[in-house]
Amino acid sequence: MELIKEFISNYGVEILNTILVAVVTFLGTQIKRIYENFVNDKTKKQVVEDTVKYVEQIYTDIKGEEKLNKAIESATQILNEKGISITEIELRVMIESVCNSFKEGVK
């Protein structure tokens, strides 16, 4: 029992400090990950919306699937330059959603 008390009195503060640093580091990395996901999602939405507007304005002579491919190509390039990864299906869904909201706004 005396040995345990001596160990805690000699090393207790250092052990507690190590545990505290580990917990704070873990919480910091989790908060950073959540923040980056939020910012990336917001950036993705803005890039897709701007890209759809751009494609609608510039490529007036093409329709349907060709416009979709131009939007996918442009948005992918912009997001890659920003270091943000996105799957093709996620991009297609976002583009269709923006197009649908534009159509609803016209009605």
pLDDT at 45: 92
Predicted model pTM: 0.67
Provide the pLDDT for residue 38: 86
Contact yes or no for 98/49 (Cβ under 8 A): yes
78 Cβ contact list (under 8 Å, min separation 6): 47, 51
SS3 content of the chain, % helix, strand, coil (to 5): 90, 0, 10
Q: What's the average pLDDT block by block, 10 residues per block, for the chain (107 residues)?
A: 79 88 94 88 92 90 88 92 90 90 70
Nearest C-alpha neighbor of 70 from the set 83, 84, 57, 81? 57
- What's the CA angle centered on 88, arms 41 and 101, to 5 degrees? 60
Report how many domains make up the chain: 1
Q: Which domain holds residue 85?
A: 2-106
CA pair distance 52, 88, nearest whole angstrom: 15
